[in-house]
Structure 1
Amino acid sequence: MAETPLISTPMRDPATLSRPAFAMPVHACDAHMHVFGPLDQYPCVAHPHYTLPDGALAHYLKLMDVLALERFVIVQPSFYGTDNRCLLDTLQVAGPGARGVVMIEEDTDDATLARFHEAGVRAVRLDLFARSGQPTAEIQHYISRMAQRCAGLGWHLQFYAPGWVVRNLIPFLGDVETDFVIDHMGYMLEEDGLTPADFERLLALLKTGSCWLKLSAPYRIAKHRGYDAVAPMARGIIEAAPHKVIWGSDWPHIPDSTRDSGELLNLLGAWTSDPAVHKMILADNPARLFDY
């Protein structure tokens, strides 16, 4: 039986968002957001995890003005699976300030990937939640195959994965030469049995390998514990390798679009007060990773 989808809430008025509490660098980039369109134009997968979010580009552009963001990266949501039409159409409208992260089938041909690159795509997202029941060796082979597809285009991989899958992959990931980004700080939840030692191994991977980490969706890690519970993890990531860290809002914060995106941005200011590090995480690092 298919699970009951979460009910997406209406979008928060951008005028009510918290303003940045620190000086935003030039070319600041939100490296993780999602865009949605009308269902009659962009049909969803057969059994989506949530109802259609109120996540139109017009809403997001107003948010960018409030938060002094100049660039953004559209990450393909599970809602559309490997049908990237909404993302590609949005890139065409948004112009050179936008980049895309697609989800693809393994047999996607090279001509299609080249067309995606021309549109502004610079990465492939791997949904490892969907593969979490597979043996670790099978997941490793899948990552290797997809890394090969990305390497010729100068793209990177992005992993949407539960923390325990990340933990099991760490020895293998140390040998992956293609850059890869792990969403949501590695998603290492205590509730899933992850330990401080597991997180330390992730930080070691960040320091020495092709790994990048994304400071995104702290509410998915904090759950009911509050953002203070996430701060040590975020600070540890920043201190370990600030040149390999990016920030993302996870807008429209599925399923709760009433969240304050400005509050989430200001967490970065609480995690580090160094303007040079703000510039690195918000501007320099995404410019390098997404080929701005």
Structure 2
Amino acid sequence: MTHTHPAIHLNRAAVAYAGRRVLDDFSLDITPGERVAVIGPSGAGKTTLFRLIAGLVKPAEGEAVTLGRDTRQLRGRALARLRREVGFLHQQDNLVPQLRVVHNVLMGRLGHWWLPQALLSLLWPQQIARARAALERVELGDKLWSLPDELSGGQQQRVAVARLVVQQPRLVLADEPVSALDLRLGREIITLLCDLAIHERVTLVVNLHTLDLLQGHFERVIALCDGRLFWQGPPEAIDQTLLRALYGAEYRALHLDEVALPGQSADTPDDDTRA
């Protein structure tokens, strides 16, 4: 039996801003290739967790090891190498509106290119075939020379997924990537991300605002509350009692009593794990 190091290893990690603990005593392991959803109320620390994993913030206490690297020790080129291997997808797609789709997609290669090649690509895109192939994977092969404002919101987020395809990261962190989209489009983007993770053997961690999107996509769900790990387990183990305890006052405002939960139609044993 081979031993595989975790893609993400947090050991009693804490992050503080202006003296206030945003994450505290946080321990978590995520295995390579695992697809994990992160849920929790506003202000729970979900975005800070993503920044910690990516090495954008350092732990004030404990340790954060991402893709085998202790982020506390990373500086300069070592930190740049880690960020090349971590793909980010944000709530806003972060496309450059003045640049055509082909340029935006090829930005995923910037971490792999020398500066002269990157500058040349702004004048005439390098590796156009790679960009076109990535766009075809997200069904936008005909939008290579379009400008972002000529695309719908769902299409713009698909371009951002194509940018991840050309980046070839080992880990993708998607921070509320579909909160600006309707449920149908959101489901399409989550499906694209999970297909990417499966086919490229990429570790995927998604911060989800819409719990309807848990169905059929993720192997594990991690719930945060007040900067701590509140619960973790399979999606099928989530029930309304757990959601009421997790979301508190937000439960009714978010209409969580109407959410179609993965396990609610089946008789699922109560095997959740309190952290």
Same fold (TM over 0.5): no
More strand by share: 2
**How high is the TM-score relative to the length of structure 2?**
0.41
